[in-house]
Structure 1
Amino acid sequence: MEDKRLIRQIQQGNSDALDTIIRKYYNDIYSYCFRKTANTSVAADLTQEVFLRLAKYIHNYVHKGKFRNYLFIIARNICHDYYKKKGAVVEDIDLLDVPDRDSNFKRLEQSEIIIKALGSLPDIQKDVIILRFYHDMKLKEISEITGASLATTKSRLKQGLDKLKKILNREDVF
């Protein structure tokens, strides 16, 4: 069902439409929050907060552009607030708990290295990279979500990718 119609139904009090929106976008928002925090339980809590905030303020929402982008703006703000309140830092990931025999070990190890490398980037660069490569968004959409100009968004992407290359080429990632 089209987002615009679902939103109208939610604004008219249809809770089933809200459930449909949540099911439709939950995985995208959760994966964004996970990539921002590298913590499954924190990501789940932040994702829940995104949808609670959506439910609270949906009556004020005016449909402009893509609704998905609106949700990512909320998610970005909630993740930012989380770090601001907690002074949280991405926790070190201990790969020693994964047995060497595991056939997925190499893929897991690479994934963990990338998560740690992403965690070392400034938020403004991390956001652009996560939205571009993990959520397949266009730079124009990312600039709308982050509130930056298109030129600034392009610059942040390039700077972030350059930093990631340096980090991933170092021997001492851990």
Structure 2
Amino acid sequence: MKKEIGFMDFNLYKIDEDLHLIKEMKHGDTSAIETFVRKYYSDILKYCRRRTSSNEDAMDLTQEVFLRFFSNFSSYKHYGKAKNYLYVIAGHLCVDHYKQAKCFVGLDETMCIELAGVSVEDQISLENAVQELPITLKQVIELYYYQGLKINEISKILRIGVPLVKYRLAQAKKILRNRLEAEI
């Protein structure tokens, strides 16, 4: 009599597959490491992409997730799904990614909101709002806040006058303030 494989049996197989990979990796099997990374890389990358503003940041964070996993691998105890543990690492790294930034785009030049007190969702909302700005305003915001350039330097880079840089900066902040207040 043939036994049908049910949903629960399939899930147990997947867990056993992880356990097998982990045992092989602990014995130094590099092909098992490669298989493990390939198995989970795209899921972790998608997770990081949803929580960061750029593809490059998401890729860097995904690499860091696996580096952290393998750097503490000798003490890793497998209690179920390795994927869940990778998501935990990714979540912490994404939060840390925003905390490391020095400043958040402020509502005026003297105000700089520290990221430690700002939720990841608010940071993502702001990043999206910046991306939606007209290119002329977006350039000024990015150079001023994200690159830390002074107004005179921005003027030289964009080949526009200092008053126009100040005007664009003020306009961009006004638009961002209105968009963010509308979301609240």
Give the TM-score, by structure 2 length. 0.49
Alignment map for 1:3-152 (pairs within 5 Å): 3-87=18-102, 89-90=123-124, 91=127, 92-94=130-132
Deviation sequence 1:125-161 (CA, Å, 0-9, x none): xxxxxxxxxxxxxxxxxxxxxxxxxxxxxxxxxxxxx
> 1:44 offset after TM fit, Å?
0.4
Task: From the CA coordinates, give the structure whose radius of gyration is larger.
Answer: 2
What per-residue deviation string (whole Å, max 9, x for no partner) do you get for residues 46-70 of structure 1? Answer: 0000011111111111011211101
In 2, the alpha carbon distance for the partners of 1:72 and 1:32 equals: 8
Structure 1 residue ranges, 4+ long, deviating more than 4 angstroms after superposition:
none
Higher relative contact order (CA 8 A, sep 6+): 1
Query: How far, CA to CA, are the matches of 1:81 and 1:38 in structure 2?
Result: 14
- 2:77 aligns to what SS in structure 1? coil
d(CA) in 2 for partners of 1:26, 1:37: 16
Structure 1 residue 96, shift from structure 2 partner:
6.9
8 Å contact from structure 1 (residues 10, 58) kept in 2: no
Task: Give the drift of 1:38.
Answer: 2.9
Decide whether aligned partners of structure 1 residues 94 and 10 sit closer, same or farther in structure 2, where only a CA change above 3 A counts: same
What root-mean-square deviation, in Å, do the aligned CA atoms of Structure 1 and Structure 2 show?
2.3
For the Cα contact (< 8 Å) 1:7–1:58, is it kept in 2?
A: no
Q: Which runs of 5+ in 1 are unaligned?
A: 98-171
Gaps of 5+ in 2: 1-13, 105-122, 136-181
CA distance, structure 2, for counterparts of residue 86 and residue 9 of structure 1: 39
Question: Over residues 74-105 of structure 1, what are the superposed CA-to-partner deviations in whole Å (9 max), with x where a residue is unaligned?
Answer: 111111111111256432323878xxxxxxxx
Q: d(CA) in 2 for partners of 1:61 and 1:71? A: 12
TM-score, scaled to structure 1: 0.51
User: SS where residue 71 of structure 1 aligns?
Assistant: helix
Aligned partner of residue 131 in structure 2, secondary structure: coil
Distance 2:57 2:23 in 1: 31
Match of 1:114 in 2: none
